[in-house]
Structure 1
Amino acid sequence: MLGEVIAEVFTVSGLFTLMMLLMLQAVLGFDNLLYISIESKRVGEAKAPMVRRWGIGLAVVFRIILLFIIVALFDALSEPLFGFHMPGIFEGEFTFQGLITLAGGAFIIYTAVKEISHMLTVEHIEHSEGGKSKSVTQAILLIVAMNMVFSFDSILSAMAIANVEIAKIVNSAGETLGTFKGTVTDCKAALISSPIPDAVGCRPGKDYQVWLMAIAIIVSGVVMALMADAVANFLKKNRMYEVLGLFILFLVGVLLVTEGAHLSHMTLFTYTIEAMSKSSFYLVIFVLVVTDIISSKYQKRLWAQKEAEILGGGTEQASRDGAQAHMDRKTPAKPPQN
């Protein structure tokens, strides 16, 4: 088994697929890392690093378990569990994947809005560490739970990358009797030359490269663990960027909610809810980051100019006072007149 995994990884196609998976994890893992940094500060500065390490470590373990479950039950997870049908008002066929994505996106939106509201109402911003404090266990459980929500999107995207075409050997009832590594044409030719009892044909299928995806998850987890403290310290020292991070987190929630609604085929007042495209999401993020950088630099320039004006005005006044005192010393005192 181990030899097959190593042989699968250390091939040209395997290494290329692994590189693509690592890039995917890096892109999709940013919002997860942002949430971890914001949530971990609720336990206090001393315990926050431990919470981040435990949260990421447990999240990686559960994400790998979830990977195997999703691959094994991929067809079942996409089947509708229940539906609502109120013609003209609201309709939807809810799947397990759709429900998880909807609930996770709604919770992220709630978290972002709550944090932004807290920042607007707190009296001492520099000493604020968020809203109500949490215990270490609560923070770790929340980090693991939200990581699982983010996992659905990343695992499904990874499955679209890490797969190879196979052919399924089926009987007359459409049941799968076995698999053939190759195209459907090659499978049919193999059945003609070496018939299999009850086999009547071949259908196209996919074999997912689970171990490549697991390696990418582990590597991305190690990178997140190494970067988590740096991201948290950066946000603490640059509080202005924390607002940007919260708005990005809000957009992540919107992305997940629309994706969950799309998976559930939701319609609201006869309007179909479409998933927010990834390209639109990253474009909005790019515009937000650029706007925030320009705004921050302009604000710093205004403060520097105002400070220079204040200091310059004070120096000018001091120079006038000094000159007047010098003139008073040079001018002889007039004798008192009788």
Structure 2
Amino acid sequence: MFEIFSSADAWVALLTLTFLEIVLGIDNIVFISIAADKLPAHQQRKATNLGLILAMVQRILLLFGVSFLVGLKEPFYNIETSWFQMGLSWQALILFFGGLFLLYKSTSEIHEKLDAPGVGEENLKAKKITSLQKAIVQIIIIDFIFSIDSILTAIGMTNGIGNQPGDALILMIIAVVISILIMMLFANPIRKFIGKHPSMQLLALSFLILIGFMLITEAAHLSHTVVFGQTVGAIPKGYLYFAIAFSLLVEFLNMKLRKQTTKVKKTVSNADN
């Protein structure tokens, strides 16, 4: 069953696939952090860990339904007019509505944070409105949306590896388990860090808006959408991750600058006294 690990190609594929799953899971961690942050403090860690465990179970079940996932790519309805063409598939619809959900969720969260009355009784009450079950349901829904894309990518990467039909499946399951365990190590520190820095919360929500827009664009691309003779292309994920990394770098520099400014002000204030 595990003879595949005698091949160097299998180990390279496993390492690459694990790294890919972690990278593709970053946006999932951001969403889980924001969803868990709305819970009472004693439930936040539980929601984060439980959300990731359920995400792992869900992805493994989806891997066993590989044929089902591949079938989602096939168009079931075609729309053709003089200026618009599209081949609708279930995969495209899942990505489209997932993108809309992220846009709605992120925009409403930003609106709530900007219009919040402050850290008081009303704000604490609003924070506890979201139940653990509701947070878990949101995490499972958004993970299902992200899983479709990452698992189909994994299928493409492991295609042709191993002599047995189940060899590629074993590699994908191990990669998913390892990546989720690694994410569980960092998810709670990331959640706490985002929760402590309001500017980082807004930046994370902005990332989700960007990801939501990318999902909608990818849905149009997978549907082979043509508008006025122009084909809707896919947004390379490398551009997205570069934008996120660059924004994080700028924010870290701003945080360091704010700390230095605060220290200087305290020094000047103590000298005046």
TM-score where L is the length of structure 1: 0.72
Distance in structure 2 (CA, Å) of the matches to 1:10 and 1:221: 24
Distance in structure 1 (CA, Å) of the matches to 2:247 and 2:9: 37
Q: Is residue 221–residue 233 contact of structure 2 (8 Å, CA) maintained in 1? A: yes
Q: Which has the higher contact order (CA 8 A, sep 6+)?
A: 2
SS at match of 1:93: strand
- Measured after TM superposition, the shift of residue 72 of structure 1 is 1.6
Superposition RMSD on alpha carbons, in Å?
2.7
Instruction: Provide the residue aligned with 1:76 in structure 2.
Output: 71
Greater mean deviation of Cα atoms: 14-23 or 216-225: 216-225
- Measured after TM superposition, the shift of residue 299 of structure 1 is 3.1
SS at match of 2:234: coil
Q: Which amino acid aligns with 1:138?
A: K
For residues 260-289 of structure 1, give each alpha carbon's deviation from its aligned partner in whole angstroms, at most 9, with x where no partner exists: 110012234544322111121122112211
Distance in structure 2 (CA, Å) of the matches to 1:208 and 1:7: 8
Instruction: Provide the residue aligned with 1:158 in structure 2.
Output: 154
Q: Which amino acid aligns with 1:242?
A: Q
* Bigger helix share: 2
Q: Is residue 164–residue 208 contact of structure 1 (8 Å, CA) maintained in 2? A: no
- Measured after TM superposition, the shift of residue 114 of structure 1 is 1.4
From 101, 107, 128, the equivalent of 1:107 is: 101
Matched, 1:212 2:206: no
From 90, 98, 102, the equivalent of 2:92 is: 98
The answer for unaligned runs of 5 or more in structure 2 is none
SS at match of 2:130: coil
Distance in structure 1 (CA, Å) of the matches to 2:87 and 2:167: 27
**1:195-274 to 2 correspondence within 5 Å?**
209-274=168-233
- Measured after TM superposition, the shift of residue 153 of structure 1 is 1.4
Distance in structure 2 (CA, Å) of the matches to 1:226 and 1:300: 27
The alpha-carbon distance between structure 1 residues 109 and 305, as it changes in their structure 2 partners (threshold 3 A), is: same
From 34, 39, 52, the equivalent of 2:35 is: 39
For residues 282-306 of structure 1, give each alpha carbon's deviation from its aligned partner in whole angstroms, at most 9, with x where no partner exists: 2211221122122223333344444
Identity over aligned pairs, percent: 30
Q: Which amino acid aligns with 2:15?
A: M
Instruction: Provide the residue aligned with 2:14 in structure 1.
Output: 18
The answer for unaligned runs of 5 or more in structure 1 is 167-180, 182-205, 316-338
- Measured after TM superposition, the shift of residue 132 of structure 1 is 7.6
Q: Is residue 29–residue 187 contact of structure 2 (8 Å, CA) maintained in 1? A: yes
Q: Is residue 22–residue 180 contact of structure 2 (8 Å, CA) maintained in 1? A: no
The alpha-carbon distance between structure 1 residues 285 and 27, as it changes in their structure 2 partners (threshold 3 A), is: same
Distance in structure 2 (CA, Å) of the matches to 1:236 and 1:13: 41
The number of equivalent residue pairs is: 271
The alpha-carbon distance between structure 1 residues 99 and 131, as it changes in their structure 2 partners (threshold 3 A), is: farther
Q: Is residue 22–residue 183 contact of structure 2 (8 Å, CA) maintained in 1? A: no
Q: Which amino acid aligns with 2:160?
A: V
Instruction: Provide the residue aligned with 1:120 in structure 2.
Output: 114
Q: Which amino acid aligns with 1:222?
A: L
For residues 142-166 of structure 1, give each alpha carbon's deviation from its aligned partner in whole angstroms, at most 9, with x where no partner exists: 1111111111111122122112179
TM-score where L is the length of structure 2: 0.88
* Bigger strand share: 1
Instruction: Provide the residue aligned with 2:44 in structure 1.
Output: 48
- Measured after TM superposition, the shift of residue 87 of structure 1 is 2.9
Instruction: Provide the residue aligned with 1:330 in structure 2.
Output: none
